[in-house]
């Protein structure tokens, strides 16, 4: 592990707060946290975290800074201005836990490298409960020696930690994971809609599919726990966030000169759900907007 007595954490949302809490409890380091919302800051302060008043203060007081922010736009906002780039020091490491643009990731890594610092992409996967339990899956883009140094810290909140390659490779892997997930959830939504219209109980359908070749994590979680009961809460992984992540996959495919028709189609499905007023709802809400449901 990197020799550090001070960790920074920026972004205490649905996933960031429990991840930061696990670092406070398990890392053995002092953790200084920052978020624009006072409620999670207060909760973490009560559990032993220090609190910063700005991004600049987090960078100033930390050797390793974790980011857990909603999108590339939010990451850019803490990188620029009186943020990471202006205040970074040589040998510091920034670990981005969000799903973000590969181009931006590699650009930020290049700019930090010029300052003697490092950028690591380590996007997280799995659920809010997994974040609370410390059982996330993390896909890391970093040089092998840097991966080896930060892996013990990541294992404070993750049970599956994969070295995917150099900077940006973690984002590529996570983006494609999400692309496959969205298309799978759409297939499940369509299957449930057809089953209902054809006189087959959706719960029975998915339970039966889970015993055969159509089984998947998406079926057992998004299908059985969200689509069948119609449970699409806010403050979960929203339709707008899903479309944002899909846009990164489409950008990757365009750069590679590959036409990904299935991804293009699910992009239209997500946009239709957003246009119908479900942008902030948990993204399996696309099932609600299939004709006949």
pLDDT at 235: 83
Q: What's the mean pLDDT in 276-293?
A: 92
Q: Answer yes or no: 91 catalytic.
A: no
| pLDDT for residue 292 | 60
Predicted confidence (pLDDT) at residue 22 exceeds the cutoff of 50 = yes
Question: Residue 292: beta bridge partners?
Answer: none
157-208 pLDDT, tens digit per residue, is 999 999 999 999 999 999 999 999 999 999 999 999 999 999 999 999 999 9
Cα–Cα dist 160/91, whole Å: 26
- Residue 36's Cβ-side half-sphere holds a number of Cα atoms within 13 Å equal to 5
Q: Of residues 26, 174, 211, 288, which has the active-site annotation?
A: 174
Alpha-carbon gap, residue 8 to 277, rounded angstroms? 36
DSSP line for 79-118 = HSSSSHHHH--TT-EEEE-S---HHHHHHHHHHHHTTT-E
* pLDDT tier for residue 94 given thresholds of 50, 70 and 90: very high
User: Whole-angstrom Cα distance, residue 92 to residue 117?
Assistant: 5
Does the pLDDT value for residue 293 go beyond 90?
Answer: no
Mean pLDDT in residue range 279-289: 97
DSSP notation for 126-156: S-HHHHHHT-EEEEEES-HHHHHHHHHHHTT
255's CB contacts (< 8 A; 6+ apart) are none
Average pLDDT score over residue span 275-293: 92
Tokens 């201005």 belong to residue: 81
Distance in angstroms (rounded) separating the CA atoms of residues 28 and 46: 17
pTM of the model: 0.93
Average pLDDT over residues 82-103: 96
pLDDT (tens digit per residue) in 121-152: 999 999 899 999 999 999 999 999 999 999 99
Average pLDDT across the chain, whole number: 96
Q: What percentage of the chain has pLDDT greater than the value 90?
A: 96
% of the chain with per-residue pLDDT over 70: 98
What tens digit of pLDDT does each residue of 197-206 get? 999 999 999 9
What letters, b where the CB count within 10 A reaches 16 and e where it falls short, cover 200-237? eebeebbeebeeeebebebbebbbbebbbeeebeeebb
Four-CA torsion 72, 77, 83, 86, nearest 10 degrees: 80
Are 95 and 142 in contact by the 8 Å Cβ rule? The answer is: no
C-alpha 201, offset from chain centre: 33
């Amino acid at each position: 592990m990197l020799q550090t007595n001070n960790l920074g954490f920026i972004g205490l949302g649905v996933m960031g707060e429990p991840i930061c809490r696990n670092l406070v409890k398990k890392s053995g380091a002092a953790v200084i946290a920052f978020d624009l919302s006072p409620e999670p800051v207060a909760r973490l302060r009560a559990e032993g975290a220090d609190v910063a008043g700005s991004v600049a203060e987090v960078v100033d007081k930390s050797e390793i800074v974790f980011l857990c922010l909603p999108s590339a736009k939010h990451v850019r906002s803490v990188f620029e201005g009186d943020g990471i780039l202006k205040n970074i020091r040589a040998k510091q490491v920034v670990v981005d836990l969000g799903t973000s643009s590969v181009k931006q990731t590699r650009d930020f890594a290049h700019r930090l490298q010029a300052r003697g610092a490092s950028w690591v992409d380590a996007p997280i996967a799995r659920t809010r409960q997994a974040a609370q339990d410390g059982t996330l899956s993390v896909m890391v883009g970093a040089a092998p020696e840097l991966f080896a140094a930060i892996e013990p810290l990541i294992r404070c909140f993750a049970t599956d930690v994969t070295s995917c390659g150099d900077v940006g490779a973690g984002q590529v892997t996570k983006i494609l994971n999400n692309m496959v997930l969205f298309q799978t959830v759409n297939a499940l939504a369509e299957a449930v809609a057809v089953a209902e219209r054809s006189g087959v109980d959706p719960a029975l359908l998915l339970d039966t599919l889970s015993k055969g070749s159509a089984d998947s994590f998406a079926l057992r979680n998004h299908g059985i726990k969200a689509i069948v009961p119609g449970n699409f809460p806010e403050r979960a992984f929203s339709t707008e966030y899903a479309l944002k992540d899909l846009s990164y996959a489409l950008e990757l495919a365009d750069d590679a000169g590959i036409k990904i028709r299935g991804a293009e189609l699910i992009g239209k499905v997500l946009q239709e759900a957003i246009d119908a007023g479900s942008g902030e709802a948990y993204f399996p809400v696309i099932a609600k907007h299939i004709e006949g449901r």
